[in-house]
């Protein structure tokens, strides 16, 4: 999609960060649509993975409506609004935590789909993921809401520790210590292997 031309008080040469768009939207509300265009797909996929596509569309709309209402509170020193939006989305998901637990328990009871595919690295990765999903869903269902939120912001939303701390409004030290404890649980469940390790945690 081609970005609309910048008109009025905005300079075409200006680097339009999320913080800039949010600041501009205080006087020109239509500028908020740039935030939606940039981030709605990503937020949708995050919510859909947690609650399923049936819930995702409504909660994405709720997330951006809340963001629009609270945009005056946004810290302009933060150019990227993703952590802020993920924080709003995560709080929206929390209102449906029973739905999420039921969904994970249902996934835990499901059988992986047997498919015949060419034997290559990609097909092996897909089959491994399919076989892993029921057990992983069972583990996620047993985590507390706070632990599940943190783990999935890191593993699925791919936020850094600092961004996850911003999203959850906790110190980064708290993120590190809590995630260390969660990772120990996962390794116990999966025979010493953590299936949700990110590149930040395992650079090699």
Instruction: Give 10-residue mean pLDDT values along the chain (204 residues).
Output: 40 70 97 97 95 91 98 96 98 87 81 44 38 79 92 94 97 96 90 72 48
pLDDT on residue 30: 97
CA atoms within 13 A on the CB side of 6: 12
pLDDT on residue 43: 97
pLDDT on residue 112: 53
Instruction: Report the alpha-carbon distance of residue 9 to residue 6 in Å, rounded.
Output: 8
Q: Is 150 helix (H, G, I), strand (E, B) or coil?
A: helix
Instruction: Report the alpha-carbon distance of residue 181 to residue 25 in Å, rounded.
Output: 41
pLDDT on residue 200: 55
How big is the chain, counted in residues?
Answer: 204
Predicted model pTM? 0.78
pLDDT on residue 99: 81
Give long-range contacts, CB 8 A cutoff, 24+ apart: 28-32: 29/68, 32/67, 32/68, 32/71
């Amino acid at each position: 999609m081609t970005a609309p031309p910048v008109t009025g008080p905005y300079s075409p040469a200006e680097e339009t960060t999320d913080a800039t768009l949010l600041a501009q939207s205080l006087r020109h509300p239509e500028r908020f649509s740039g935030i939606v265009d940039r981030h709605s797909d990503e937020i949708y996929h995050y919510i859909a993975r947690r609650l399923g596509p049936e819930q995702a569309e409504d909660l994405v709309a709720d997330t951006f409506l809340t963001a629009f209402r609270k945009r005056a509170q946004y810290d302009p020193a933060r150019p990227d609004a993703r952590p802020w939006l993920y924080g709003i989305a995560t709080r929206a998901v929390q209102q449906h935590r029973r739905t999420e637990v039921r969904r994970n328990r249902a996934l835990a009871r499901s059988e992986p789909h047997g498919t015949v595919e060419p034997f290559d690295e990609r097909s092996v990765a897909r089959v491994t993921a399919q076989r892993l999903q029921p057990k992983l869903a069972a583990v996620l269902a047993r985590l507390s809401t706070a632990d599940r939120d943190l783990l999935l912001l890191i593993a699925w939303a791919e936020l850094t520790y600092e961004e996850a701390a911003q999203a959850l409004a906790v110190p980064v030290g708290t993120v590190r210590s809590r995630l260390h404890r969660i990772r120990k649980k996962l390794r116990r469940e999966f025979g010493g292997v953590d299936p949700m390790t990110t590149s930040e945690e395992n650079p090699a």
